[in-house]
Chains A and B, each alone.
Chain A
Amino acid sequence: MRLNILSKTDNPLIVCEHVSCTYGNAPVLHDVYLKINRREFVGIVGPSGSGKTTLLKAIIGSQPVAHGSITIEPHLTIGYVPQVETVDWYFPVTVEEVIVMTRAKTKWWPRITTTERTAVREVLEKLGIADVAHRHIRELSGGQQQRVFLARAMFCQPDILVLDEPTSGVDVRTRHEILHLLADLHQDGLTILLTTHDLNGLAAHLPRLVCFNKTVLADGNPREVLTSQVLEATYGAPMEVLEHGGMPLVIDHGRVAMRGEGK
């Protein structure tokens, strides 16, 4: 596993320096510094409204940056997986059509070609959902929905996957499957950046964690980052961190959040 973020073989794909964004007059991001290297697996955690999604959108270029700069390695292909809640599930498209969309820039012919059909099948098989290609997107389970959009992001062979809350709204088993899937993709050499609010089920398993609330409050290995001081600064509420099976376990308000069955 490549966990060391400060290794000498740094190969930054994305560098955010002093990045600030505003909605109207309200600052959403303030003086963000973040560097993502090739082959890293980074999770951003923070409460809702902390600007996690805005940061991702600034990185992918759909949110204008007010101050500072975001440097992206030239010719970098980003595969973006939006939050499932933001998808219009009533839109009249099949799974296959959704996945092929990413070729819109290079292909104009309206019909899906045989080559594309094969490529779609391959990526769906890789994600274990080969049978849903011709289904309408509303006829999918929560886990399948997440995988379809993961498949779409994978379809253009990205250098980096950017996922917004990949485990929101899915059950424990699906969350587990998604985490394994992402770990496998990372193992295959993909760089992954995701946001999550799931501290124990997802964040604690990642090699690198960024605690975020409008700005970067802590950045490093979960063991170093998941402390009650950092979490209180991030969430604005007292939190306790225990150790369980060699992993940090976050407890908020005395209520034990279920930890995903560890790997």
Chain B
Amino acid sequence: MIFALDILAPYGFQFFRNGLVVATIAGALCGLLGVFVILRGMSYIGHGLSHAVFGGAAASAVIRVNYFLGAGIWGVVSGLLIARVARRRVIGADAAIGVVTTASFALGLALMNRYGQASKSIEAVLFGSVLGVKVADIYAVALVALLGLAVVVLGYRKLLFSTFDRDVAQVSNVRVSLVEAVLLAMISLTILVTMRVIGTLLISALLVIPAASARMTTNSFSRLLWISPIIGAVTCFVGMNLSYHLDTSASATIILLDALVFVVVYAVAGTRNRVKMASLGHL
């Protein structure tokens, strides 16, 4: 009885309930987009773009522009800029991300140093803050999640085709560049609305780990699009609760939990494959 009360204790706080809702939706959203991130080998992009958005957040804090507007425009522009730079093939996407996002991050840091009074909200952006979650954040995350779902459902075939086989998709009249731009814009938007909760520095993990865990459980693309968001949502939900009871940072707890899921799936999938291999031994 006491145990049950203890478990429900954090739910008495408005900030916790808000944070929990945002984190859970964010987990599902990142899990969904993460499928494309890992299959396209763009894991570095989550990391890079969150740093780029940090620059935008710092800039908008300094010039006192609305965070969503300032960092949002910054994020989308960074995404398009990366796509643009990466199109020059001698450079490569990973280097393009490195150039665009580290410059943006450095700008954010410089602004933070120069105009110290804005540093509080900048720190919230860097490490995430459950306390800072407002109702507006819930709406923003829910809206982007719905948008992400719509993009994946309506663009399912185009996304799958251009992810699997870019050249042939292009020949089949799929506008591959547009598909890629939309995907990058979605990832930017996701980072924008979720980083106040789980933090810039750890968001890249949420764009990678649930999808990577899910990938080891299935060979089906459509099933992957279910399993990955579920892992993301559940780990965020449980991680938020744990962080309250263990008195640890919400973002760190969530990511550690995701890493734990990954390790378990990795071990189980490895054992299963070995058994499968052994049974094929006679071939």
Contact = CB atoms under 8 A, between A and B. Distances in A.
Interface string A137-169: 010000000000000100010000000000000
Interface stretch (A98-106, A119-127, A204-212, A215-223): A98-106
B167 A82 contact: yes
A18 interface: no
B154 A101 contact: no
Interface residues of A, number: 30
B172 A102 contact: yes
Nearest to B218: A92
B90 interface: yes
B150 to A, nearest CB: 11
A92 B172 contact: no
Interface string B149-172: 000011111101101111111111
B39 to A, nearest CB: 7
A246 B141 CA distance: 72
Interface string B65-80: 0000000000000000
B90 A24 contact: yes
A110 B164 contact: no
Nearest to B167: A62
Nearest to B166: A62
A38 interface: no
B34 to A, nearest CB: 14
Contact of A80 (B157, B168, B173): B168
B153 A110 contact: yes
A105 B215 CA distance: 26
A97 B160 contact: yes
Q: Which of A57, A104, A152 has the most CB of B within 10 A?
A: A104
Contacts of A98: 164
A105 B167 contact: no
B279 interface: no
A82 B157 contact: no
B87 to A, nearest CB: 10
B219 A136 contact: yes
A263 B276 CA distance: 42
A80 to B, nearest CB: 5
B221 interface: yes
22 contacts: A23-B89, A57-B167, A60-B171, A62-B171, A80-B167, A80-B168, A82-B165, A87-B165, A88-B164, A92-B215, A92-B219, A93-B164, A94-B219, A101-B157, A101-B169, A102-B161, A102-B168, A104-B160, A104-B169, A104-B172, A105-B173, A108-B154
